[in-house]
Structure 1
Amino acid sequence: MADLTHLAIPGTRIALRVTPRASRARLVIEGEDLRAYVTVAPEGGKANAAVQVLLAKALGVAKSRVVLVRGQTSRDKLFEIS
């Protein structure tokens, strides 16, 4: 999993693209883009919650500090560290 602890500063915004129904959950840095792969389906916010947990783990912060700002129903999401 990608180490993003250097981004764990309040106010930091993290843009990423999500791929649901992946074979395993992981965060990947591809060039300058961040991609999140989650195993759950995008139903009822389950994929968003899974991405929130992945990001929190990679950042080394509590999941309550990782807030979805934009992209609730899109594959492209923007999270902010509170």
Structure 2
Amino acid sequence: MIVIQPHAEGATLAVRAQPGAKKNAILGEHAGALKVAVTAPPEDGRANAAIVEVLKDALAVKRSQLELLSGAANRNKVFLVRDCTPDDLAARVREQIG
């Protein structure tokens, strides 16, 4: 079960990053987090920026709605999705991982 928590501005989503992958994709669930693979290397925040792009497209939200709350230099990250209820976010995540 992917960890999605309520937040004052929306909902938070646990993400497990896989930088340096062959393609950008959502790979499913890993230890309670949404596993996101990106081709960008984990240097100078490039992988984090690529993860934001993947999440933006997959969850059908605006870039301005996504914010990295924790884990900037770690594979385990927490993103804030503004203006999205935990139930709505969970439904969008389920659509992506089947």
The interval holding the TM-score normalised by the smaller chain is 0.7 to 0.9
Alignment TM-score, normalising by the size of structure 1? 0.82
Q: Partner of 1:6 in structure 2? A: none
Aligned partners of 2:29, 2:68: CA distance in 1, in Å? Answer: 21
Q: Partner of 1:44 in structure 2? A: 44
CA-based RMSD of the aligned residues comes to: 1.4
Q: Structure 1: 5+ residue runs without aligned partners?
A: 1-9
Aligned partners of 1:13, 1:33: CA distance in 2, in Å? Answer: 11
Aligned residues: 73
Alignment TM-score, normalising by the size of structure 2? 0.69
Moved over 2 A (4+): 30-33
Question: How far does the alpha carbon of each residue in 1:7-63 deviate from its partner, in whole angstroms, 9 at most, with x for none?
Answer: xxx511000110110001001223753100000101110000000011111110111
> How far is 1:70 from its partner?
0.3
> How far is 1:64 from its partner?
1.5
